Amino acid sequence: MEKRRFEYELNFQEILKNPVRLFGWVFPIFIMILLAVGVRYYMNVGTMGVKHQPPVNDSLFAFQDVAIKRGGVIPPVDLKLVKEPTQELIDKGRELYDANCSSCHGAQGNGDGAAGTNLEPAPRNFSDKEGWTNGRKFVDMYKTLEEGIIQNGMAAYEYLKPEDRVAIIHYTRTFDEFPEVTDEEILLELDATYGLSKERVESNQIPVKLAIKKVVKEFDEEFDQTAKSFWENSKSETGAQLISENAHDPVKVLKTFFYSGISSDQSEFIETISLAPNSLGFRSTVLRLSEAEWSALYDYLTRVANLRG
């Protein structure tokens, strides 16, 4: 009896005759799917709907420090070499090109260097006579090496000696036919703009961040030698006591006025501190000082500011 009933339940012909029986099979499957969807939603409810954005580099905050460079006397360039380069100069240009340019522009100047694969626009193909940003004349190419073309990803090579830049250009010009270098171009454009025929003296150059560290170190040494000593020897004075009682950082108070000085009268001094006491190293209790106490504080910090002469 049970066997016949089971066969009847699986008899799809009977199900088609009576579709209501189909619900008995579909309902459990529907419940299982609904349950699975609910569990998945619950497990991912913390992350669903969250749109992840890649970090954006704001060019307003981009900073590229200068390179360290030793100064000295830059010898003049023999202008004859600009028009009639020696083989020695061209060979030197090849070495400099391979070291500085070939990674982007390619060994043969076709713009197919490995480092320039992802650059947009692609590095210059020196055999292509069209689309040069600064032009193909000798002075135009020198300008490119001197200033770079930042929007195209072309770095400036101002750190190279002028004669080295001339050598690179002459070697680059071996890749194709370029405009002839004229005497007018050499004298009226190249030399008049960049002073190649004149000896130049360049100062040493250090990165900005390193310069800041050195300046801060010098200021700190000056502060330790003068203001800190003054503070230690004058702690019994009313102004020093007021700083100790009303400053969360007495050293910050001293440094602020030691470095920036006091160029205002007492009323403006009081207003400045009252507007932002915490940023200057004071507690808010400084706002409750009497007129006499403000005068003592003003006189003391004026003496601190005058320590730098």
Encode pLDDT of 79-100 as tens digits.
999 999 999 999 999 999 999 9
Q: Which residues pair with 74 in a beta bridge?
A: 200
Q: Each residue of 20-55: b (16+ CB within 10 Å) or e?
A: eeeeeeeeeeeeeeeeeeeeeeeeeeeeeeeeeeee
- pLDDT tens, position by position, 130-162: 999 999 999 999 999 999 998 888 988 888 889
Mean pLDDT of all residues belonging to the chain: 83
pLDDT in tens, 162-197: 999 999 999 999 999 999 999 999 999 999 999 999
Q: Are 155 and 148 in contact (CB under 8 A)?
A: yes
pLDDT of 62 higher than 90:
no
Token representation of residue 166: 């001339």
Q: How confident is the model at residue 24 (pLDDT cuts 50, 70, 90)?
A: low
CATH number of 72-202: 1.10.760.10
Task: Please give the pLDDT value at position 27.
Answer: 62
The phi-psi region of residue 104 (left if phi > 0; otherwise alpha if psi is between -120 and 50; otherwise beta) is alpha
pLDDT tens figures, 205-256: 777 788 788 877 887 888 888 888 899 999 999 999 999 999 998 989 998 8
Q: Could you give the CA distance from residue 132 to residue 263 in angstroms, rounded to a whole number?
A: 55
Beta carbons of 112 and 93 less than 8 angstroms apart: no
* pTM for this model (two decimals): 0.49
Give me the pLDDT at residue 61, please. 47
Beta strands in the chain (DSSP E): 72-74, 200-202
Distance between CA atoms of residues 146 and 195, nearest Å: 12
The pLDDT value recorded for residue 11 is: 59
Tell me what pLDDT residue 264 has: 83
- CB of 171 closer than 8 Å to CB of 165: no
Kindly list the distances between the CA atom of residue 41 and the CA atoms of 3, 30, 226, in Å, as whole numbers in the listed order: 42, 17, 67
